[in-house]
Amino acid sequence: MDDDVGFDRQRGEELWLIKAFLSITDSGKREKILELAEQLADEASSDPPILTFTSAEASVAEPSSDVPGRTE
């Protein structure tokens, strides 16, 4: 059951990230974000695993109102 909640939260976070990325209309900014994401992924794969804790009250499935509309 806890796996379903974790999966739902992860799925919500993924969808929120995709929506935010697609709202960026400037192709140069989108390219920079992709480069940074690849760099962070490379760094994360070479780092030793770190335990992280999340708040039980935090809901990733609900996007924050901090995400603006289309960005140029």
What radius of gyration do the chain's Cα atoms show?
15
- List, for residues 26-50, the tens digit of each pLDDT value: 999 999 999 999 999 999 888 776 6
Predicted pLDDT of residue 4: 79
For residue 22, pLDDT beyond 90: yes
Where in the chain are the domains?
A: 2-46
Q: What is the DSSP string of 5-68?
A: HHHHHHHHHHHHHHHHHHTB--HHHHHHHHHHHHHHHHHHHHSPP------TT--SSS--TTS-
Q: Which residue has the higher pLDDT, 72 or 38?
A: 38
